[in-house]
Amino acid sequence: MSNQTYTGAEILLKSLVEEGVKEIFGYPGGVILTVYEALYNQDKIKHYLVRHEQAAVHAAEGYARVTGKCGVALVTSGPGACNTVTGIANAYYDGYPIVVLTGQVGLNQIGNDAFQEADVVGITRSCCKHNYLVKDVKDLQRIIKEAFHIATTGKPGPVVIDLPKDVLTQKTAFNYPKTVKLAGYNPNYKGHPIQISKALKMLSEAHRPIIISGGGVLMSGAYDELFKIANYLKIPVAHTLMGTGTFPSNSPLNLGMLGMHGNFWANHAVSHADVIFALGTRFNDRITGCLQRFARDAHVIHVDIDPCSISKNVKADIPIVGDVKNVLGCMIDDYEKNKPNIYEVDKIKWLEQIDEWRQKRAIPKCPSDKLSAITVINKLYEMTKDLDPVVCTEVGQHQMWTAQLFKFNKPRKLITSGGLGTMGFGFPAAMGVCAAMPDKTVLNIAGDGSIQMNIQELATCVDYNFKVINCVIDNGYLGMVRQWQEKLFNKHYSQTKISHPDFVKLAESYGALGIRVEKEEEIEPAIKKALEAKVPVIIDFVVEGCEMVYPWVLAGEPLTKVLLSNDC
């Protein structure tokens, strides 16, 4: 064993290398400078300098979403740490693994209102999976090992490590632990075999079954198992926003997205099902509508690795705590061994009924002769689908149109904020995608409101040649909020008309490419030019201001009450 000792800052980086970390996103500051000095003296970790700490965390999450690995963000104390909270909460609600490293004042200054002090542990306690305040350099290696273990196991999520500056200068030997053992933390991956057999029997005997595929299917990598069990049992599959891409969109069993802006037929299928097989979803309000009237005649089989998610919102008749991939694998083995009768005639009738509901579609209607946002997003899909792009979004109308109009046959291709609904997420998340996959076509579909939340990251993209193509749906409003005001608040558009800079000149001022599109015939040349560009791009699509997203289930209404047009 070597007698050599290292500073806490050096140990931090050596520990990250042990965890396989090759990229981090961050922003320096006074108390964290020892770490940046250590970064300067090594060559195994690439650091990307963002322009705002929130963007660092979103970029780390974007990296995690496309790779399945743990993303890492590094910031300083006080305001730097506080600026990470939105990003931490976003990763927490959508369940993605990141480790956020925050600077902290010295241990003897904590609680004394020192310059740039903030109670990071207290502030982040409610929006992360776990957090640590390191009090001794000898604990640092163990804490980092535990942090990555907690972030990536069970239901993934963010872990925060608060690093006092004196801990970063203290020295100790480096002996990175090989294993982790945490009392009280032992996620159950297998699922109970008796419960799985009960579930298979119920699904086989069901007359009107449906599968809801959530984000847990994506995180567990259960795509092949889901496809196999759905086809074995002849069960249609609807997905949540977070479950996009977990079941091939070209399969006849795919019902697409359900919920507030989901397909009419998917919502009716769920509402009239006799058995719901819910995989890796927490049944949030966006997919249930009025909870008291949600699928009242259905028996519910709920699979989730997080026991707290089961029966939290919708009571499960057969709860199964376990990893979706493992549970479905066991169910497939059971089916192949015993070949249960699946009531095929009834299931064919059920699929025929769903096909009748498929005829009820939203009727998009642009209220003027101006460019339609739906036309723009349709054209984006048609011109990029063969490039296998990663599509990031901000939050709002453009997000829902993207989820509806893009066809995703693979997972990890739609990067969007679901649970928290964070405006400003998409652009920095796209940077994380570019860092992970530098040769990939990366789109960020944004609104003119949400793009301004983190538009300063154009500088980061130019510095590192992240060729993000920002497609701004420029309607002059906070579009989704304006839509609610039109329908629910007598067209009182209070504080939703928004101004913005000249996006073309702004892009050029950063050294990026700016393009403006105002007519339908300009769409295709603009997209082609953007795809050929060697720099980041903003395309300013100037569209009609009052276009609406349909289908639409108003908040508090049941899923069967679906608005399909302005005339509803």
Mean pLDDT for 107-117 is 93
Instruction: Output the pLDDT for position 568.
Output: 65
C-beta of residue 415 within 8 angstroms of C-beta of residue 443: no
71 compared with 362, residue with greater pLDDT: 71
Instruction: Report, as an integer, the average pLDDT of 15-42.
Output: 97
Mean pLDDT, range 335-351, rounded to an integer: 92
pLDDT, tens digit, 9 for 90 and up, residues 429-476 = 999 999 999 999 999 999 999 999 999 999 999 999 999 999 999 999
Q: How far apart are CA 540 and CA 543, in angstroms?
A: 9
Q: Are 155 and 115 in contact (CB under 8 A)?
A: no
Predicted confidence band of residue 245 (pLDDT cuts 50, 70, 90): very high
Bridge partners (DSSP) listed for residue 470: 444, 538
Is 53 marked active-site? yes
Calculate mean pLDDT across residues 522-540: 98
Active site residue: 10, 19, 23, 53, which one?
53
**pLDDT score, position 167:** 98
Q: Express each pLDDT in 176-197 by its tens digit.
A: 999 999 999 999 999 999 999 9
Q: Is 165 in the active site?
A: yes
DSSP labels, 539-562: EEEE--TT---SSB--TTS-TT--
Among 69, 129, 165, 379, the active-site one is 165
**Could you tell me the domains of the chain?**
5-173 (3.40.50.970), 193-357 (3.40.50.1220), 373-542 (3.40.50.970)
**Mean pLDDT, residues 290-317:** 95
Return the DSSP state at 116.
T
Q: Which distant-in-sequence residues (6+ apart) come within 8 Å of 160 by Cβ?
A: 88, 99, 100, 102, 120, 121, 124, 128, 130, 131, 132
**pLDDT band at residue 343 using 50, 70 and 90 as cut-offs:** confident
Q: Kindly state the average pLDDT of the residues 474-495.
A: 96
Question: Residue 290 — φ and ψ, nearest 5°?
Answer: -60, 110
Query: Mean pLDDT across the stretch 5-14?
Result: 98
What per-residue confidence (pLDDT) applies to 344? 86
> What is the pLDDT, as a whole number, of residue 567?
76
Percent of the chain with pLDDT over 70: 99
Q: For all residues of the chain together, what is the average pLDDT? A: 96
How far apart CA 427 and CA 413 sit, in angstroms, is 15
Give me the phi and psi of 306, to 5 degrees please: -100, 105
Catalytic choice (46, 115, 410, 529): 115
CA distances to 290, 304, 329, 534 from 282, in Å: 15, 8, 21, 42
**Which tokens is 249 given?**
């969109």
Q: Which residues pair with 210 in a beta bridge?
A: 276
Give me the pLDDT at residue 564, please. Answer: 94
pLDDT grade for 315, boundaries at 50, 70 and 90? very high
Q: What is the residue whose two structure tokens read 């009924």?
A: 353
3-state secondary structure of 232: helix
Indicate if 408 belongs to the active site. Answer: no
Q: What is the pLDDT of residue 566?
A: 82
Catalytically annotated residue among 18, 37, 109, 116: 116
State mean pLDDT over 509-533: 98
Q: Among 431, 480, 483, 547, which one carries the catalytic annotation?
A: 480
Mark whether 109 is an active-site residue.
no
Active site residue 25: no
Mean pLDDT of 229-254: 96
b/e 264-299 (16+ beta carbons within 10 angstroms → b): bbbbbbbbbbbbbbbbbbbbbebbbbbeeebbeebb
Q: What are phi and psi for residue 505, nearest 5 degrees? A: -65, -35
Q: Is the pLDDT of residue 361 over 70?
A: yes
Calpha distance 332→322 (Å, rounded): 15
User: So what's the pLDDT on residue 3?
Assistant: 80
Burial status of residue 383 (CB atoms within 10 A of its CB: 0-12, 13-18, 19 or more): middle
pTM of the model: 0.97
